[in-house]
A = this chain, B = another copy of it.
Amino acid sequence: MPLMPVTESMFLLGESREHPLHVGGLQLFELPDGAGPDYVGELHRALLDTDDIHPLLRRRPRDPVGSLGQWMWTDDDRLDLEYHVRLSALPTPGRVRELLELVSRLHGSLLDRHRPLWEAHLVEGLRDNRFALYTKVHHALLDGVSALRLLQRSLTTDPTVRDTRPPWAAREDEPRGPRSRTGVGAVLRDIAGLGPALAKYANEVFRAQTATLPFAAPRSILNVPITGARRFAAQGWPLARVRAVGDAAGATVNDVMLAMCAGALRRYLLELDALPEKPLVAAVPMSLRTGDDSAGGNALGMILCTLATDRPDPADRLAAITESTRSDKDVYRGMSQLQVTALSAIPFAPLALGLLPGAVRLTPPGFNLMISNVPGPTEPLYWNGARMLGVYPVSIPYEGQALNITVTSYNGSLEFGLTGCRRTVPHLQRLLTHLDTELADLERAI
């Protein structure tokens, strides 16, 4: 087994009880026609009846207790699949609310370092003929984008295919669903491989850079030390509605998504009497085309975007956000590819972000929260005949970044996953209501 690259070990070293560093995904399925009452139990037993596990999901840290030296991976020769693939049930009445409560709990506990760093939880007892699969994978193994892609490996566009191949199976063939169209995750991992030293350098560049921006992130209740417990909320909205707003306002889908988040956050913070006077600033990973891109293709980076949360009018906020995402690209135009990409590594480098206790209290936030948009499959997908109704990213709040919003798309729906520190971000579910209200308000206002 090779030495573990810094890009992987830093996620083990940077992890603590307060900062579990795993990413997750929640998939919602419809029970196929003719499914019996024990359908999910049978599926669980079928999934356990394999020892065909992806090599990445067989390895574990060789020295689980940790060290300041070099980490190594080793193969788990006693892989206990029953430990990794679990069956859970929802208490009555089995609404999405009970599902989100369960996922919140599951996402808040640390993965066992004595074992391969992943868990999958099949969930039964969801009403309206549905079941769910929540999967968590350590960031040292996979970033969020790759994890979402892994989840799609066992899906197909053909509803008649019956094959209980799980996402964690070893087959190396291509995913049958459409590929994610960006390489954000993979590229960021390469960059992170440059190590904490670069991240520290990048942090300094970042500070110098943001000093030239027309706005700076205010202090907010989202930018404080966090605890280990999590809250997760998720919901989807029709992409067509979002796109219609964008078309009417001359904005992108991404701009409208950011405007929904901005308006929802404004309402949420107003309710808590905690809205900063100055507008919140979001960090948004985006594909950036640089002027002198000799390598061709996309340069991937992170832009800072005002959320205009000081403005009461939704159309006004959307205009400010659209303007901001455009002009922020300009900020990066004169920078080298390395600078752009190094900047992008920051939110993925917990050591650089100051996981050391106390760091957050001293430095003002560079941004208030990260909002990512990861394109996903456009057609309906099936898992052994069970139609996937939705897929939601479950991400990582960091020290000083108590809320993460990650959005993906699936089959004409824009799927929001909100992950927050349970203590610092109370009543997270209210943000879903606010997102809904904001989309309706934008439709009226444009």
Q: Which residues of A contact B (CB under 8 A)?
A: 16-18, 37-38, 40-41, 44, 64-65, 78, 80, 83, 86-93, 105, 108-110, 112-115, 124-125, 227-229, 357, 422-423
Contacts and interface: CB of A to CB of B under 8 A. Distances in A.
A399 to B, nearest CB: 11
A87 to B, nearest CB: 5
Contacts of A113: 17
Contact of A18 (B65, B90, B125): B65
B41 A92 contact: yes
Residue in A44, A89, A228 whose Cβ sees the most chain B Cβ within 10 Å = A89
B18 A91 contact: no
Given A17-B112, A18-B114, A92-B124, A423 B40 contact: no
Residue in A40, A41, A88 whose Cβ sees the most chain B Cβ within 10 Å = A88
B125 A229 contact: no
Given A17-B112, A18-B114, A423-B78, A92 B89 contact: yes
A401 B224 CA distance: 40
B86 A89 contact: no
A175 to B, nearest CB: 29
Contacts of A124: 91-92
B114 A41 contact: no
Contacts of A228: 112, 114
A225 to B, nearest CB: 9
A109 B228 CA distance: 12
A428 to B, nearest CB: 13
Number of copies: 2
B422 A110 contact: no
Given A18-B65, A91-B88, A92-B124, A423 B114 contact: yes
What is the predominant secondary structure among interface residues of chain A facing chain B? Answer: loop
Contacts of A18: 64-65, 114
A17 B37 CA distance: 38
B109 A65 contact: no
A282 B181 CA distance: 61
Contact of A423 (B17, B37, B80, B422): B80
Contact of A229 (B40, B105, B112): B112
Given A88-B89, A114-B229, 13 more contacts: A17-B112, A41-B93, A44-B91, A64-B227, A80-B423, A86-B105, A87-B91, A88-B91, A91-B125, A109-B110, A112-B227, A112-B229, A114-B228
Contacts of A86: 105
A83 B40 contact: no
A243 to B, nearest CB: 38
A41 B93 CA distance: 9
A41 B37 CA distance: 22
A370 B38 CA distance: 40
Contacts of A65: 16, 18, 357
Contacts of A88: 89, 91
B41 A91 contact: yes
A89 B88 CA distance: 8
Contact of A227 (B114, B125, B422): B114
A315 B17 CA distance: 50
Contacts of A422: 80, 83
Contacts of A115: 227, 229, 423
Contacts of A423: 78, 80, 114-115
A91 B123 CA distance: 8
A124 B109 CA distance: 22
A89 B91 CA distance: 5
A106 to B, nearest CB: 10
A109 to B, nearest CB: 5
